Amino acid sequence: MSELTKRERMQILRQEMPTQDPLVRRANFNEVALGFTEELARQEAERCLQCARPQCVEGCPVGVLIPEFIQALREGDMVGAVKAMKVKNSLPAICGRVCPQEVQCEATCVLAKKGEPVAIGRLERFVGDYELAQRTCPLEGGEQTGKQVAIVGSGPAGLTCAVDVARQGHKVTIFESLHSPGGVLVYGIPEFRLPKSVVHGEIDYAAECLGIEICTDHVIGRIFTLDELLEEYDAVFLGTGAGLPSFLRIPGINYNGVMSANEFLTRVNLMKGYRFPEYDTPVKVGKKVAVIGAGNVAMDSARCSLRLQSLQADDGDDGSEVHIVYRRSRKEVPARAEEFHHAEEEGVIFDFLTNPVEILGDDTGCVRGMRCIRMELGELDKSGRRRPIPIEGSEFEMEVDSVIMALGTSPNPLVFVDAEGLKRSKWGTVVADEDTGRTTMPRVWAGGDVVTGAATVVSAMGAGKQSADEINRFLQGEIDPW
Amino acid sequence: MYEILQKEILSDVNKLMIVAAPAVARKARAGQFVIVRVDEHGERIPLTIADYDREEGTITIIFQEVGKTTMHLGTLEPGDELATFGGPLGPPTGVEDYGAVVCVGGGVGIAPLYPIARALKQAGNTVISIIGARTKDLLFWEDRMQAVSDEMIVCTDDGSYGRKALVTEPLKELLEQRDGEITRVWAIGPAIMMKFTALTTKPYEVPTIVSLNTIMIDGTGMCGGCRVLLEEGAQFVCVDGPEFDGHKVDWDNLLARQAFYKEEERLAVEAWDHKCRLEGALEEEGA
């Protein structure tokens, strides 16, 4: 293709991502978004205007060299695209799938002002998938420094920090409490959104290239305390996430069939419960499921429920339903637009302005229903959203046999056993410097959900990266912040 | 991977294994548990630590074959490896000198009771132990319990060994005879046994600590599947327990929750039996 003019580039339509048909995909766990073909990717790459001062990069929490990788992509230089990508992002196949690009790089893309932004996320995924399959530019660690760093938690924050520290030649050991590395990427995000082969592929590739050791089944706080890690390692990064589930404080939460989204998703994703009995862990979903909450985790839970119902039904439609019960309205739904859209497309029923007040059980101790109350929206609250207020006398019963609570999570305090010097907030999060992740405990940094409370994969990656920068400077003796 | 170093068959269904896990053994204390996963397709199950040897770097587990996972585990031999052996989890037992304590162990619950009784004895307590099982073949570690107890009562439901009684009978007699002397009771065993032990001690207002074994996945507070209802609300067995005040536990809710996956457990056992028979048949054919 000869060089296009700016006007010509702006006339190219944003390329649609091929996806599985909603009615087909709601009955399987295969990936929903199928990925760009090379042709679609090249076509989409042609839309980039190669701005002199690219705003997209400003919108990226890890500062990916977006114009550079897109330029290489449209020249057909895949290796160049991978190289440009990896300067800032070591896990593109993951980011390309789960980053909320619509509020980050794509929101600040100059084309977004007049129409549709460049599909940066889809291009990123294309480059990431290419590299996972081809392994053209392995990450390289610098000369061995003899310094050792412990990373606690192998989710997005820990992984990113591990890679960036190891690239400077420091010896990195990751401690993971579960049996498989990846944190929320493996226990939380479902296969149909982020295939586990992609997560394991990215982690294995990076760990092999950089000699990162991963110790699974290691619950820090129990097997080693933070103090013990500090005796062995020159620096410690805490990326333990927000793993503790919240339950509504209403009667009936311990009936059989009521579970946290964490439990439900862990059974499905980490333990592969949807393949029971081939895998040993069962997962049960009723014919009428209510998911409480409307964040990304709620969407994931609802969409997994639909799929399990389809797998359980012998043939076709057996009248099963999945509801999302949310106390605010459609406008306030906190999930990513795309996830919300996918859930609706697949047939999830949304009950807005509805709040459960009691879970009802039968005489065998199983859930049979939920008493709810209708809500209306009042004045703006501290979060800037309109406060939901119960409408008196509007209570009603909803027949359900599964209740999944997706109400947010908070940091797991286990890691803080015997870590008195580490200051934490009243919400249980670690107090850390916003720009560097430096904590109140010498030689300890923290980032991701353990600092911010439940947030996004990419913000955790950004935090891991910032901490890695400062850990590297500290290990080189450039700074001593304490 | 975690190597099985030794195996001992305690009865048809109760087996003991000593597993190499140096880092776990270094920290293990009475009352804690490990999460075990047999292989890559396996589920994660909690097993209470029956013993540990810091120098050898080993943990002893004892399990009863009640479902697919424990049956599968029971087929493994020394030299085989476990996919997951994570721990030590849960807060350890609070051990101090309480005076005279009774340790009640039922069936496979005798295993986790042993290190607690030992620690209590070492702390200066007078330890009276009551161990029981359905029948003689299901009893084990009588000698070990004897060695850490000042007094010992053994009973079986069917009278095939020791006294023919449920563990609650001698317990009630003790509480009657030594009213005010016994300051604390530990009870570990099937949920139904712990429930009735707690009911037995309640009128005497003797604090009764039970060690709950609920369904868990991670064992670190992440899933909440293990939650138990106490008077003060729901708590997690994995991080708030596994030991609780037996007088505050909602036992009926606990028993109902334990039965939630009964049908799936049955299916898993069926599939496992089928696989074992198939393999057995193939072996015979090959021979």
Q: Residue A266: its chain B contacts at CB < 8 A?
A: 217-218, 222-223
- Whether residue A102 has pLDDT greater than 90: no
Choose the weakest-confidence range: A2-16, A230-244, B249-263: A2-16
Interchain proximity B43–A365, CB inside 8 Å:
no
**Residue range B52-81: mean pLDDT, rounded:** 95
Please name the member of A224, A256, A270 whose beta carbon is closest to the beta carbon of B257: A256
Give B53's pLDDT tier (boundaries 50, 70, 90).
very high
**Residue range B196-215: mean pLDDT, rounded:** 94
Q: Residue B45: its chain A contacts at CB < 8 A?
A: none
Q: What is the pLDDT of residues A351-394, one digit of tens each?
A: 999 999 999 999 999 999 999 999 999 998 888 888 999 999 99
Q: What is the pLDDT of residues B88-139, one digit of tens each?
A: 999 888 899 999 999 999 999 999 999 999 999 999 999 999 999 999 989 9
- Whether residue A400 has pLDDT greater than 60: yes
**Residue range B23-30: mean pLDDT, rounded:** 94
Give A142's pLDDT tier (boundaries 50, 70, 90).
confident
Residue A368 Cα, gap to closest chain B Cα (Å): 14
Q: What is the pLDDT of residues A182-237, one digit of tens each?
A: 999 999 999 999 999 999 999 999 999 999 999 999 999 999 999 999 999 999 99
**Residue range A62-86: mean pLDDT, rounded:** 94
**Residue range A147-152: mean pLDDT, rounded:** 97
**Residue range A277-282: mean pLDDT, rounded:** 93
Going by C-alpha positions, the residue among A234, A95, A47, A49 that lies closest to residue A151 is A234
Average pLDDT, chain A: 93
Q: Which residue of B has its CA nearest to A178?
A: B218
Give A2's pLDDT tier (boundaries 50, 70, 90).
low
Going by C-alpha positions, the residue among A76, A81, A11, A82 that lies closest to residue A49 is A11
Amino acid at A298: A
Q: Could you give the CA distance from residue B132 to residue B128 in angstroms, rounded to a whole number?
A: 13
Q: Residue B224: its chain A contacts at CB < 8 A?
A: 245, 247, 259-260, 262-263
Q: Residue B261: its chain A contacts at CB < 8 A?
A: 282, 284
Tokens of B133: 């099982």
Q: What is the pLDDT of residues A281-325, one digit of tens each?
A: 999 999 999 999 999 999 999 999 999 999 888 666 678 999 999
Three-state DSSP at B155 gives strand
Indicate yes or no: pTM above 0.90. yes
Q: What percent of chain A has pLDDT over 70?
A: 99
Tokens of A456: 């996004």
Interchain proximity A244–B222, CB inside 8 Å:
yes
DSSP A177-233: SSSSTTTHHHHTS-TTTS-HHHHHHHHHHHHHHHT-EEE-S--BTTTB-HHHHHHH-
Q: What is the pLDDT of residues A249-266, one digit of tens each?
A: 999 999 999 999 999 999
Give A418's pLDDT tier (boundaries 50, 70, 90).
confident
Q: Could you give the CA distance from residue A109 to residue B127 in angstroms, rounded to a whole number?
A: 73
* Rg of chain A, C-alpha, whole Å: 23
Please name the member of A179, A253, A412 whose beta carbon is closest to the beta carbon of B84: A179
Residue the block writes with tokens 């092999």: A208
pLDDT given at position A43: 94
Q: Could you give the CA distance from residue B224 to residue A477 in angstroms, rounded to a whole number?
A: 44
Q: Is B41 on the interface with A (CB under 8 A)?
A: yes
pLDDT given at position A314: 67
Please name the member of A263, A366, A413 whose beta carbon is closest to the beta carbon of B217: A263
- Whether residue A1 has pLDDT greater than 60: no
Tokens of B194: 């712990």
Interchain proximity A218–B86, CB inside 8 Å:
yes
Q: Residue A414: its chain B contacts at CB < 8 A?
A: 220-221, 239
Q: Which residue of B has its CA nearest to A249?
A: B233
Q: Could you give the CA distance from residue B246 to residue B254 in angstroms, rounded to a whole number?
A: 12
Please name the member of A178, A284, A412 whose beta carbon is closest to the beta carbon of B261: A284
Q: Which residue of A has its CA nearest to B27?
A: A223
Q: Is A412 on the interface with B (CB under 8 A)?
A: yes
Q: Could you give the CA distance from residue B69 to residue B268 in angstroms, rounded to a whole number?
A: 9
Give A164's pLDDT tier (boundaries 50, 70, 90).
very high
pLDDT given at position A417: 83
Find the distance separating the first CA and the last CA of chain B, reported in whole Å.
Answer: 32
- Cβ contact A120:A109 at 8 Å: yes
Going by C-alpha positions, the residue among A240, A245, A184, A160 that lies closest to residue A451 is A240
Q: What percent of chain B has pLDDT over 90?
A: 83
A368 HSE (CA, 13 A, CB side): 6
Highest mean pLDDT among A6-20, A173-187, A309-323: A173-187
Q: Could you give the CA distance from residue A32 to residue B232 in angstroms, rounded to a whole number?
A: 44
Q: Is A222 on the interface with B (CB under 8 A)?
A: yes
Q: Is the peptide bond prior to B242 cis by the omega test (within 30 degrees of 0)? A: yes
Going by C-alpha positions, the residue among A153, A241, A433 that lies closest to residue A441 is A433
The H or E element that residue A477 is part of is none
Choose the weakest-confidence range: A202-206, A478-482, B156-160: A478-482
Choose the weakest-confidence range: A2-11, A63-72, B124-133: A2-11
